[in-house]
Amino acid sequence: MGLTPRPESSPRIVQTHSDEPWITTRLDAFVNWGRKNSLWPMPFGTACCAIEFMATAASKYDLARFGMERQAFSPRQADLLICAGRVPFKLAPVLRRIWQQMPQPKWCISMGACASSGNGIFDNYAVVQGIDNIIPVDVYVPGCPPRPEGLIYGIMMLQKKVENERSSDKSLRHELEPDPKSQLYLAPQVIDELSEPFGNSVQQTRSGL
C-alpha cells in the first residue's frame, strides 16, 4: 500500500435537470471520510500520559473538534485505542484482551515514550518494552509525556492514514497470530537480541555490583 497510484478521490458535483444536485465519488473516499471524522477513542491510561490525554480532551484543546466527542470506555464501542502510559507485564494480557474485544475497523495510538518503547528508565523486569510487542500500533507519539499538541498531531496523522486506506487492501483488517512462515516474522531469539542493546539481561546489572 502507498506505492500504487490512487484514483482521484475528490467528489464531483453533478448538476441534473432537477434542482437537486448530487455527487459522485469513490466509495472508499466516502467511507474513510466518515471514519476519520468519527473516531471514537478508548483511553487506556496507566500513567502521567493519561493526564495529558485528559488535558487534550478537555475544553482548551478539545478533542471533540476531531470527531472524538464521545470517549468510549467500552472497547466494544471504540475505534481507536489510545494507550497512554507504561504497561507492566501484569497488564499485558489485559491490554491484548481489550484490543481483541474492539471491533474492526480499529486503530491504535501509542502515546508517549513508555508505551512506545519502555522509555529506557523503565527498562526493567516489570515493564513491557513497547506495546507493539502485544498489539499492532498505527501511530507513535513521542514525548514524556507528549503535550496535547503532540497528541493532536498524532491524531491528525492517524486521520490521514485512515483517509488513505483502500478497501481492496484486505491485509489491513486481518488479525493474525504471528506466523513463522511470514516474512515479517521475527524469531524470539532475534527479538531478544534487538531488545537488549547492552547485552544479555541476566549478566546485566545497573548498580555496578
C-alpha cell at 32: 474513510
Task: Kindly tell me which of 128 and 139 has the beta carbon lying closer to other proteins.
Answer: 128
Task: Kindly tell me which of 12 and 206 has the beta carbon lying closer to other proteins.
Answer: 206
- Residue 87 beta carbon to other proteins: minimum distance, rounded to whole angstroms: 10
Asked if residues 89 and 127 have their Cβ atoms less than 8 Å apart, the reply is yes
C-alpha cell at 153: 498531531
With H, G, I as helix, E, B as strand and everything else as coil, classify residue 204. Answer: coil
Give backbone dihedrals phi and psi of 43, rounded to 5 degrees, phi first.
-75, 130
Task: Kindly tell me which of 35 and 96 has the beta carbon lying closer to other proteins.
Answer: 96
In whole angstroms, give the CA distance from residue 164 to residue 160: 6
The DSSP H or E segment spanning 195 is helix 188-195
In whole angstroms, give the CA distance from residue 80 to residue 99: 10
Task: Kindly tell me which of 41 and 130 has the beta carbon lying closer to other proteins.
Answer: 130
C-alpha cell at 40: 471514537
- Residue 101 beta carbon to other proteins: minimum distance, rounded to whole angstroms: 11
Name the residue type at position 56.
T
- Residue 29 beta carbon to other proteins: minimum distance, rounded to whole angstroms: 38
- Residue 58 beta carbon to other proteins: minimum distance, rounded to whole angstroms: 30
In whole angstroms, give the CA distance from residue 49 to residue 45: 7
Task: Kindly tell me which of 38 and 74 has the beta carbon lying closer to other proteins.
Answer: 74
Using only C-alpha atoms, the chain has a radius of gyration, in whole angstroms, of 20
- Residue 184 beta carbon to other proteins: minimum distance, rounded to whole angstroms: 16
**Residue in the structure block whose three cell numbers are 526493567:** 124
Task: Kindly tell me which of 26 and 96 has the beta carbon lying closer to other proteins.
Answer: 96
List interacting residues with other proteins (CB under 8 A): 89-90, 92-94, 96-97, 123-126, 128-129, 133-134, 188-189, 191-192, 195-196, 201-207, 209
- Residue 204 beta carbon to other proteins: minimum distance, rounded to whole angstroms: 6
C-alpha cell at 88: 507492566
